[in-house]
Amino acid sequence: MSPLVNIIVGLAMGLNLLALGSSRLPSVIRAMAVQGVLLGMLPLVIETDFDWMVMLVAVVTMAVKGVLIPTLLRRAMRAANIEREMEPFIGFVPSLLLGAAGTIAAIAGARALPLLTEHADTLLVPGALASVFTGFILLVGRAKAISQVCGYLILENGIYLFGMLLIHSTPLLVESGILLDLTVGVFVIGIIMDRIQRAFDSLDTRKLTALRE
Amino acid sequence: MNELILIFMPLVGAGIAVAWPNDRTRPWLLPVFGVAHTALVFWMLVNPPADAATAWLGFDPLARAVLPAVSLLFLACAAFGVSYLRLRAARPNRVFVAVLLAMLGLLSAAHQARHLGLLWITTEAVTLAAVPLLHFNGTPRAFEATWKYLLVGGTGIALSLLGSFCLGYASLHGGGSGDLTFAALTEHGVGMSRPWVLIAWVLLLVGYGTKMGLAPMHTWKPDAYGEAPGIVGAILAGGVTTVAFTAILRVRAVVDAAGEGAMASRTLLALGLFSMLVAALLLLATRDFKRMLAYSSVEHMGILVVAAAFGRAGAWAALFHVWSNSLTKGALFLSAGNIRRAAGGRTTDEVSGMSVITPHSAAIFVTGMFAVTACPPFGPFFSELRVLRTAIETGQGTAAALFLTALLFAFFGLTRLVFAVVDGRPRPVTKSGAKRVHETLGVILPPLALLGCSLWLGLATPEVLREAWTAAVEQLFPSP
């Protein structure tokens, strides 16, 4: 596999840390969008011979992860009139340190896993693990709904990275189904956020505490 | 062909419901398609197709053993839905009816999925389809519940996708062609890469376990069941959770073939017992009778998973329990919905004396409570007895003891709460509001019918069902 794959995955891992360390929501969304575009390029780099189906998957991924979802999120952000994550459950510096530790652990852990020879020298598995871990930190450690959605999307990006290992073998039907589900999922989440905002006048999930034992 | 009709007929029904112009007559689409679906699925139960239609999708023995229960539960909910939506005439029901029908089609697809990817896609679709149903009531609390459901459920579903990929990679690493049908994966068996199989099992168990609502991934459940209408709770507890359970059973068969069956059984047993104990303790603490049903559901998911840990005999008992749990839980949710509507509250602080105000629903609620806590002669008693017997026969004495302890605590918790709601004097607030409430046959007969089915299942389990469960066990654990 070409060294370009490793560069792209490395950049995506760097963007994880950026998303963890930033308190401003627009920069988290931008980090996520750039990561989406980078991941969309991956199939084109991995597949050496031209295939229109792979091309289509790549273009759709880039459009959805890089343009559509960030636009929706920015709109939600403006509607709710919030710019910053003010009081996260896990602070920015601790989450950055956690993320860095997770990335190192992912690289070390991936060495222990048996990989096929063509995947052994790529960053695909560590990148996937690190992104999934980053997504979890954001999901658990942030209070604003938009940050949590970003965390969920980074988690999905990690899974998508892992899916790249199987791109030769799994039928593309599964892949396109995944994209569709992702889109629908975020659409639904977007609608919900709209409703939450109307009901609470803020997107702070900290206020979602009426249902507690 | 028939297996595709099972999927597409309700989806067509959903399309018709969207186009149907009249809010008053639209709910009748639910029982119409429910009856057609149940009739077809029971015909297929009695006359099983000789061979699965395609490698990806088919009415295989496992689908045959579980899908009829889901269909029957849906039929009862559909009949209930007509009267329920008439009571809620103020709210538009176009989306509600359409989504319910779509759920039936997607549930049929998920139960019949014989491909790892397809199973995941259908489960995800079911998860998302449930969202509009959950916030049908439109209150801020319903939105909160929906948000939690989406976030926790979405994460679970993402993990199960990662697990599916890992299982695919395990097969690829072992020299597989990347064919992700369960048949191909099972055939590949021990050739798969062990570390990847283990990772896949953990991720898939956590992912689908979240969908089932096993502790500690159950946090969405009490909120969702508490805020959703009773009819939605019944379908979630009896239909959607069974999809996740059969998914775990199918994956377990693959893990078994890969030579890690003993490890899979140990994790299932630990997770199941933990869920049962957590649920039992929460049942002792809660004061809300709709959240109580959610904790009871967590407990029964625990029972299913414990049963699945005990090999062939356990799997048979688990399939039996899927039926008895789905039908009994349906009766409980529907009658609890009636009580909740009449009482205007959900906690024991607000509600009491419901046996005066809604005598029929209260009677069904109490009987259903005894059924679900495994009092003879209802279905759950016999299925749980079988689980317990299998546990003792396989020498799992400690597990059997914990199992019984959890059941006992759950019994205390449920009886305490149910009798607090049913007995005593009605609150003044409830009394004044109760004049509007009228227990029509339409809201009484469906839960009563479900309870009757549960009783029938316990007293005289039909031979065709026993045979279907045996066939499903044979599919999951092929005898050497």
pLDDT in tens, A12-28: 999 999 999 888 888 99
CB-CB neighbors (< 8 A) of A148 in chain B: 151
Over residues B91-116, mean pLDDT: 92
pLDDT at A210: 64
pLDDT at B184: 87
Q: Do B286 and A213 touch (CB under 8 A)?
A: yes
Tell me, what DSSP letter sits at residue B460?
S
pLDDT at B250: 94
pLDDT at B389: 93
> Residue B117 is nearest to which of A114, A174, A205, comparing CB atoms?
A174
Chain B: residue whose CA lies nearest to A211 = B223
> Residue A213 is nearest to which of B145, B173, B285, comparing CB atoms?
B285
Distance from CA of A187 to the nearest CA of B (A): 10
pLDDT at A198: 64
Q: Could you give the C-alpha distances from A123 to A15, A100, A118, B74, B161, in angstroms and in order?
A: 15, 15, 11, 47, 20
Residue B434, pLDDT > 60, answer: no
Tell me, what DSSP letter sits at residue B427?
P
pLDDT at A74: 81
When mean pLDDT is compared across A194-198, B103-107, B299-303, B403-407, the lowest value belongs to A194-198
When mean pLDDT is compared across A190-194, B37-41, B365-369, the lowest value belongs to A190-194
Residue A195, pLDDT > 80, answer: no
Residues 6+ apart with CB under 8 A from A49: none
What is the residue range of A76's domain? 3-207
Tokens of A204: 């702070």
Q: Could you give the C-alpha distances from B399 to A195, B296, B305, B346, B393, in angstroms and in order?
A: 45, 19, 12, 34, 12
Q: Which has the higher per-residue pLDDT, A188 or B208?
A: B208
When mean pLDDT is compared across B56-60, B61-65, B310-314, B400-404, the lowest value belongs to B56-60
Distance from CA of B200 to the nearest CA of A (A): 12
pLDDT at B233: 92
Residue A187, pLDDT > 80, answer: no
Q: Which has the higher per-residue pLDDT, B119 or A167?
A: B119
| Alpha-carbon gap, residue A98 to B351, rounded angstroms | 48
Strands in B1-56 per DSSP E: none
Contact A154, A32 (CB under 8 A): yes
Confidence of residue B445 (pLDDT cuts 50, 70, 90): very high
Residue of A166, A187, A196 for testing the chain B interface, max B β-carbons within 10 Å: A166
Q: Do A162 and B165 touch (CB under 8 A)?
A: yes
Q: Do B144 and A208 touch (CB under 8 A)?
A: yes
Residue A193, pLDDT > 70, answer: no
> Residue B161 is nearest to which of A115, A178, A188, comparing CB atoms?
A178
pLDDT at B300: 95
CB-CB neighbors (< 8 A) of A110 in chain B: none
pLDDT at B424: 81
| Alpha-carbon gap, residue B264 to B269, rounded angstroms | 9
Rg, C-alpha atoms of chain B: 21
Strand partners for B57: B113
Rg, C-alpha atoms of chain A: 18
pLDDT at B56: 82
Q: Does B20 touch chain A (CB under 8 A)?
A: no
> Residue A199 is nearest to which of B140, B155, B199, comparing CB atoms?
B140
Over residues B83-91, mean pLDDT: 86
Q: Assign A209 to helix, strand or coil.
A: coil
Report the candidate in B207, B201, B209, B317 with the shortest Cα–Cα distance to residue B271.
B209
Q: Do B154 and A199 touch (CB under 8 A)?
A: no
Residue of B162, B206, B283 for testing the chain A interface, max A β-carbons within 10 Å: B162
Over residues B253-264, mean pLDDT: 91
Q: Which has the higher per-residue pLDDT, A18 or B141?
A: A18
| Alpha-carbon gap, residue A203 to A79, rounded angstroms | 10
pLDDT at B305: 95
Q: Which has the higher per-residue pLDDT, A192 or B101?
A: B101
Chain A: residue whose CA lies nearest to B117 = A174
Confidence of residue A1 (pLDDT cuts 50, 70, 90): low
Q: Do A213 and B154 touch (CB under 8 A)?
A: no
Contact B107, B127 (CB under 8 A): no
pLDDT at B429: 65
pTM for the model: 0.92
Tokens of B421: 């709601």
pLDDT at B341: 86
pLDDT tens, residue by residue, A43-64: 888 777 767 777 877 888 888 8
> Residue A192 is nearest to which of B121, B146, B196, comparing CB atoms?
B146
Over residues B149-163, mean pLDDT: 88
Q: How many domains does chain A have?
A: 1
When mean pLDDT is compared across A125-129, B7-11, B88-92, B312-316, the lowest value belongs to B88-92
Confidence of residue B357 (pLDDT cuts 50, 70, 90): confident
| Alpha-carbon gap, residue B88 to B137, rounded angstroms | 10
Residue A211, pLDDT > 70, answer: no
Q: Could you give the C-alpha distances from A86 to A25, A91, A100, A144, in angstroms and in order?
A: 10, 10, 22, 9
> Residue B155 is nearest to which of A152, A170, A196, comparing CB atoms?
A152
| Alpha-carbon gap, residue A174 to A177, rounded angstroms | 5
Q: Do A116 and B195 touch (CB under 8 A)?
A: no
Confidence of residue B478 (pLDDT cuts 50, 70, 90): confident
Over residues A149-166, mean pLDDT: 86
Contact A144, A204 (CB under 8 A): yes
- Chain A interface residues facing chain B, Cβ-Cβ under 8 Å? 113-116, 132, 139, 145, 148, 152, 155-156, 158-159, 162-163, 165-166, 168-171, 173-174, 177-178, 181, 184-185, 188-189, 192, 195-196, 199-200, 205, 208, 210-211, 213
Report the candidate in B96, B60, B85 with the shortest Cα–Cα distance to residue B250.
B60
| Alpha-carbon gap, residue A148 to A135, rounded angstroms | 8
Residues 6+ apart with CB under 8 A from A94: none
pLDDT tens, residue by residue, A99-143: 999 999 999 988 888 888 778 788 889 999 999 999 999 988 888
A213 located within any domain? no
Over residues B404-424, mean pLDDT: 92
Most confident of A173-177, B45-49, B322-326: B322-326
Chain B residues 315-334 within an 8 A CB cutoff of chain A: none
Confidence of residue A5 (pLDDT cuts 50, 70, 90): confident
Tell me, what DSSP letter sits at residue A64?
I
Residue B401, pLDDT > 90, answer: yes
Over residues B297-317, mean pLDDT: 94
Query: What value does the mean pLDDT of chain B take?
Result: 89
Q: Does B4 touch chain A (CB under 8 A)?
A: no
A59 located within any domain? yes
pLDDT at A89: 87
Query: What value does the mean pLDDT of chain A take?
Result: 80
Count of pairs with CB atoms under 8 A, one residue in A, one in B? 109
Distance from CA of B174 to the nearest CA of A (A): 9
pLDDT at B340: 87
Contact B302, B273 (CB under 8 A): yes
Q: Which has the higher per-residue pLDDT, B439 or A32?
A: A32
> Residue A211 is nearest to which of B117, B145, B282, comparing CB atoms?
B145
Q: Predicted ipTM? A: 0.88
Residue B408, pLDDT > 90, answer: yes
Q: What share of chain B in percent tops pLDDT 70? A: 97
> Residue A177 is nearest to which of B121, B155, B193, comparing CB atoms?
B121
Q: Does B124 touch chain A (CB under 8 A)?
A: yes
Over residues B41-62, mean pLDDT: 83
